[in-house]
Amino acid sequence: MIKSATFKWNNFRIVFSIREAFLLFFFLLITLPGECQPDLTPNGEQPGPSSIPCEVQLFSDEIINFLHEERDKLVAKGILPEKKQTQRSLLTTMLEWPLRQVPGYSNPTYYALVNHVDLDPGSGLLDYNCGTKTYNNHHGNDISIFPFWWNMMNQNRVEVIAAAPGTILAKLDGEFDMSCTLTGDWNAVYIEHADGSMAWYGHLKEGTLTSKTPGMTVSTGEYLGLVGSSGTSTNPHLHLEIRDSHDQVIEPFAGDCNSTTMTSWWSSQRDYWVPAINALYTHDMVPNIDFCPETEKTNFQNNFSAGDSIRYGIYLSDQQDGLLALFEVRNPNGDLVHNWSRNYTGDRTWNWWYYNYRLPDDAVPGLYTYTATYAGQVSQHYFMVDCPKELGLDFETVRENIIYQATSSIVTYNEIIVYSAGGLSAFEAGDFIEINSPFTVTPGSEFEIRIGGCPTEFNPGSPPVLVQGKR
């Protein structure tokens, strides 16, 4: 039985398993019928029956009745006025973007806006821009974290934040948050704004909701929870739903086909298409992006040996037809190892590609740079070839005597190096260390250490930061 398919292009091999090729084909090329669909791009795969009974309106009606009851409680406590404001002009703060990466993560882009509000009153599809980036009877905007959404969710990488200031009407928590089916209740935060409109923040991760209670206020940008996949959801994303003071659905994006508002509710409305590189990664095997967490495989790898095969991955949001992507890989000396280009076809809410390349048997050891340029954006990823996996450094050790004056260019394996500059410090080398002679450190200064062309520590998505010592 055939288990894999290989496509060769410009001396690169693009390798998929048959299952992955089949999934990717449907994920990228099929437009789903106008039935009640999960919260996915309309170009995504439907992981179930082709037709699913629509219960969105019933679900929304239940939430509205629940929120009326919760609001009445806050009115009785004197926290909210009995009557809502009804003038749109009274909204003093426009909507800001409701997601942000947590500190320590810096993907160029970390989300894809996959669905807008469906503005067609019938069975057809119509978004604010007169397109079909929605599914039937959808009442909100779905913003998926991407790529490898389950990995991102498990690492708590993306926070949901208040798009506008307001008062918390209600919170729902305690629901299973790794759903990849169209069943279950969600975790959510509901906020009323100054003009009486509401924002629903749904599908949040269980146990991560704000500690604030109903009746307390939040400011723009304040933490509400983490992106999850609770309730009727097929992958981790935020469902942001806006309702006016009369509980009617508002599509906050202004456009020719949006009759719910004449002006944008966003302080700065993003374009309909925003082509971007979400991430570059290197893999030792072809990864698997899937709708269920059990089958997602990242296969990240940033340490290779000469002769290894590398899968260079590029992950795009809002891929647009005809945009050219340029790629290059350079070795530690800055020499070009390989370069290629790809003119992508078709408009895709998200897309990803892998390019298989075998490192030369005499590949230069050290830090390599994988660069992609797309839609005016330059993104880089770093990986190492024939570098030690770890280097233990101990800057706290102080020795009474100088064991070795670090003036040589090479210090051997496991040698203890001690240098003197108005005091004594030491570090241990876990492999060959390249020392630039003379090696002296002035108190208060910093120094850097490389293992040959290899950094001792680095972030694959950022320029390498060499281990720095301080006196």
Per-residue model confidence as pLDDT tens digits over 204-213:
999 999 999 9
pLDDT at residue 103, as a whole number: 87
From the list 288, 305, 283, 304, the residue with the least C-alpha distance to 355 is: 283
pLDDT at residue 2, as a whole number: 30
Q: Rounded to the nearest 5°, which phi and psi values hold at 348?
A: -135, 135
DSSP result, 108-125: S--EEEEE-----SSSS-
Average pLDDT of the residues in 40-45: 28
Q: Cα dist. 291→54, 204, 235, 237, 453 in Å?
A: 20, 17, 6, 12, 40
pLDDT at residue 393, as a whole number: 36
pLDDT, one tens digit per residue, over 95-146 is: 999 999 998 887 889 999 999 999 999 989 999 999 999 999 899 999 999 9
From the list 153, 162, 145, 142, the residue with the least C-alpha distance to 98 is: 162
How high is the mean pLDDT of the chain? 75
For the ranges 88-102, 221-235, 307-321, 417-431, the lowest mean pLDDT is seen at: 417-431
Stated pTM of the model: 0.76
pLDDT at residue 386, as a whole number: 85
Average pLDDT of the residues in 181-199: 90
Sorting pLDDT into bands at 50, 70 and 90, what band is 289? confident
Checking 13-22 for CB contacts under 8 A at 24+ apart, the result is 13/355, 13/356, 14/353, 14/354, 14/355, 14/356, 15/286, 15/311, 15/354, 15/356, 16/286, 17/286, 20/286, 20/288
pLDDT, one tens digit per residue, over 160-172 is: 999 999 999 999 9
Q: What domains lie within the chain, and their CATH numbers?
A: 31-250 (2.70.70.10), 275-385 (2.60.40.1930), 410-470 (no CATH)
What whole-number distance in Å separates Cα of residue 45 and Cα of residue 27? Answer: 5
pLDDT > 50? residue 50: no
Asked if 355 and 263 touch (Cβ cutoff 8 Å), the reply is no
pLDDT > 80? residue 418: no
Q: Cα dist. 29→115, 251, 391 in Å?
A: 17, 27, 46
From the list 162, 176, 243, the residue with the least C-alpha distance to 204 is: 176
Average pLDDT of the residues in 330-338: 91
pLDDT, one tens digit per residue, over 2-11 is: 333 333 333 3
pLDDT at residue 264, as a whole number: 95
pLDDT at residue 127, as a whole number: 96
pLDDT, one tens digit per residue, over 232-253 is: 888 899 999 999 989 999 999 9
In this structure, the number of other CB atoms found within 10 A of the CB of residue 233 comes to 27
Residue % of the chain over a pLDDT of 70: 68
pLDDT at residue 80, as a whole number: 92
In this structure, the number of other CB atoms found within 10 A of the CB of residue 317 comes to 27
DSSP structural state of residue 105:
-
Average pLDDT of the residues in 268-291: 92
From the list 366, 337, 335, the residue with the least C-alpha distance to 450 is: 366
pLDDT, one tens digit per residue, over 58-72 is: 468 889 999 999 999
What is the enclosing helix (H) or strand (E) of 59? helix 56-76
Checking 436-441 for CB contacts under 8 A at 24+ apart, the result is 436/409, 437/407, 437/408, 437/409, 438/407, 439/406, 439/407, 441/469, 441/471
The residue type found at 33 is P
pLDDT at residue 454, as a whole number: 63
Q: Within 273-409, where are the H helices?
A: none
Given the structure tokens 């590398």, which residue do they identify? 310
Average pLDDT of the residues in 444-448: 40
The residue type found at 6 is T
pLDDT, one tens digit per residue, over 347-364 is: 999 899 999 999 999 998
pLDDT at residue 183, as a whole number: 77
What whole-number distance in Å separates Cα of residue 76 and Cα of residue 215? Answer: 11
pLDDT at residue 421, as a whole number: 35
Sheet holding 348-358, edge to edge: 4-9, 12-17, 348-358, 309-319, 276-283
Here the tokens at position 148 are 């490898």
pLDDT > 80? residue 74: yes
Asked if 364 and 332 touch (Cβ cutoff 8 Å), the reply is yes
What whole-number distance in Å separates Cα of residue 121 and Cα of residue 136? Answer: 9
